[in-house]
Amino acid sequence: MESIYSICFMCTVRCPIKVMVENDDVKLIEGNPHVAGIEGSICPKGAAGVRLLNDDERLKRPLIRTGPRGSGQWREASWEEALDYVAAKLAEVKEKYGGRAIALAERAQLNSHISKTFLKALGSPNYFTHDSCCKGSLNTAFRTLTGYTDGQVGVDWGKTKHIVLYGRNIFESLELKAVKQLMQALEKGTRLTYIDPRVTVTATKAHKYLMIRPGTDLALNYALMHVILKEGLYDKEFVNRWVLGLKELQQFVEPYTPEWAEKETGIPAYEIVSLAREVSEAKPSVIFHYGYRCSHYLNEIYFRRSIIMLNALMGSIEAPGGIFFKKGARDAGRKPLNKLTDQELPKVTEERCDGVGTSRLPLPDPAHGVVQMLPKAILEEDPYPVKALLVWRFNPLLSIPDYEYTRRALENLDLLVTIDIQFSEIAWYSDVVLPESTYLERGDSIQEANGLKPALYMRRPAVSPRYDTKPGWEIMKSLADRLGIGQYFPYHTLEELWAYQLQGTGISISDFDEKGYVSLSDEAIYWDRKDGIKLKTPSGKIEFVSSLLEKNGFPSFPAYEPVPAPPEGYFRLMIGRTAAHTHVSTQNNPLLNELVPENVLWINTRQAAKLGIKNGQMVEVISSRGRDTIRAFVTDLIHPEAVFMLHGFGHKVPVQSRCYGKGAMDALLQENITDMVGGSPALQGVYVTVRPIK
């Protein structure tokens, strides 16, 4: 049996793996035993990759739509015909409306430098990732304080002495290396405080769990800052050296006492005081975790800013057991990989269709865009028409709130193309579907894994493609050649792509053979906390008073707006993850579907009794945008103001037979409303009613 080192792609974490192959078939997938923190481990999703390969419900060959959008009427096509068709339609749109009328939306990946290059070469500014629907406001928050994005920051789980998690349900959303490091730290005495309106698996592992009223986390943090500053619990040496605006913050949080916060959050004042004191005793090896999916409420950016500010007050930045800025090849004295985006590309001067970088949305990151604004831009043709959309491994219909509004917007497109490994709602609604080979059948661009010990990882093909599929980098190159922009894609094979990336680094393809990766530093790289922290803000400091916010007309410390309880009979809809599924993409996997086949609606026992709802009963959930049916899970383990469901269910594609119609779709119920400062949608901003189905 042959062992091939690669990178998993069953979720976005990209764990290094060892794939065991016999007779061109995958027999077993394990974690890469050579990688510290992985050491052979794998999560349920990673192990279930074996069933992705030979799944007979996968996309098998190119398809061109023959009936109305969403009708499921297709004809099979050769790659030549399908690519010619797409290229001709894109050229048509560009000729009629200009390059700006073409948009591309994807879940960020190893080949994102290729898709960005493709769009720039066509003259379009409208590149989108899914990030705004996940952590856009966190990205903005970090940039307002440090100049870095959230993706450039990491967490030193293994050495922390106290970690505070706000709804970061880490033991159910599963980031393997982090989970292992945290579990080992807990065994050595690290304390865990967990704050959430719902008792999750992570709550059961915590030393202290605090049930908070939904949407009031910012009130808690203002009160924590009040105590920390009033009692002098902060790291004075670090704050005096690196923080701008401490005095202004001190004045601002003066009225936000623990007693005030108790009335807003439901957390007793003594618990708030106790937490502030207890955490400060462990500084600087403290983590107030800033979150992963950070798209809950309209004040998201200010909540995420408050978490990062708490870390700064504890002096935990660039401290072992705190948070750190990720180090790359240059920090290790090496040359970084080449990317196609490093070339001299056509200058794109058009404004983005979503308003990012204009007065409408000045602060969100234009490198990702605000994808939930795309349906509005398409439907209203404001500021200009967007007529072609390419979607790569992303499902806007289930990921962007307000399913029906997004679906209506798609009707306004002249061309909708999906590149994916399986049928999704967006693929089902597309004009052309281009089937990508799975991560076990293809290689991809080399990964730069930045961190305390930067390294390069390689995804190699483990087996030959099962069906008539192609890797995405080849699909984009083929389209580029047809559109006359092929010169920006100087490769024909995977090996040529790798050679392009490695040019000048002193690293060869064969250097990855032994372990699947190349380490760029044997020692953890920390910056000197006295004078060596390289912040990217204009002041060179952590800006509590933010130049980026203030110059764009936004306050650094907005007055807290109380969160009213839902009207009688209404609940705030909360959503979350499970360790068995990745967002909206794995519900049809035979093994993972068996583990979690549908979602259920968590509802508080007392509230269920008022409504006559019994545990296990089917209920209808109704919002201002839609309605769906789901099974009730009646429990004391959720705040009475909220109901909860897992994200990613209620699929509407009949050929995905295992997950079709199972559970309820959160996107069908959510309103498309946005934190206009930070850029994230308020996915938990909608109120719903619930009624039993007799």
State residue 369's pLDDT score: 98
Dist CA 266 CA 72 (whole Å)? 50
Res. 694 pLDDT band, cuts 50 70 90: confident
Tell me the CB-side half-sphere exposure of residue 638, using CA atoms within 13 A: 23
Q: Determine if the peptide bond prior to 284 is cis (ω within 30°).
A: yes
pLDDT tens-digit profile of 569-597? 999 999 999 999 999 999 999 999 999 99
CB 468 within 8 A of CB 60: yes
Residue partners of 681: CB distance under 8 A and separation at least 6: 132, 133, 295, 372, 400, 401, 670, 672, 673, 674, 675
Q: What are phi and psi of 375, to 5 degrees?
A: -55, -40
Residue 613 has pLDDT above 90, yes or no: yes
Res. 363 pLDDT band, cuts 50 70 90: very high
pLDDT tens-digit profile of 230-256? 999 999 999 999 999 999 999 999 999
**Three-state SS sequence of 121-164:** HCCCCCEEECCHHHHHHHHHHHHHHCCCCHHHEEECHHHCCEEE
pLDDT tens-digit profile of 470-479? 999 999 999 9
Q: What's the predicted TM-score (pTM) here?
A: 0.97
pLDDT tens-digit profile of 82-116? 999 999 999 999 999 999 999 999 999 999 999 99
State residue 174's pLDDT score: 81
Residue 118 has pLDDT above 90, yes or no: yes
Higher-scoring residue by pLDDT: 106, 12: 106
Res. 385 pLDDT band, cuts 50 70 90: very high
Query: DSSP string spanning 291-354?
Result: -SS--SSTTHHHHHHHHHHHHHHTT-BTSTTSEEEPB-TGGGT-PPPP-GGGS-PPP--SPPTT
For the CA atoms of 520, 522, 528, 533, what is the dihedral angle to 10 degrees? 30
Q: What are phi and psi of 479, to 5 degrees?
A: -65, -40
- Pairing mode, strands 687-692 and 642-646: unpaired
State residue 202's pLDDT score: 97
State residue 520's pLDDT score: 97
Residue 539 has pLDDT above 90, yes or no: yes
- Pairing mode, strands 447-449 and 455-457: antiparallel
State residue 46's pLDDT score: 96
Helix (H) or strand (E) holding 395: none
Res. 173 pLDDT band, cuts 50 70 90: confident
Res. 481 pLDDT band, cuts 50 70 90: very high
Q: Which residues of 104-117 are buried (b: 16+ CB within 10 A; e: fewer)?
A: bbbbbbbbbbbbbb
DSSP 460: -
CB 525 within 8 A of CB 452: yes
Share of the chain above pLDDT 90, in %: 99
Dist CA 275 CA 193 (whole Å)? 8
CB 300 within 8 A of CB 166: no
pLDDT tens-digit profile of 132-141? 999 999 999 9
**What does each C-alpha distance from 604 to 202, 274, 646 come to in angstroms?**
19, 28, 16
* Closest C-alpha to 311, from 534, 531, 154, 182: 154
* Closest C-alpha to 617, from 608, 626, 606: 608
**What mean pLDDT, rounded, does the chain reach?**
97
Dist CA 367 CA 388 (whole Å)? 20
Angle between helices 300-313 and 217-230 (to 10 degrees): 30
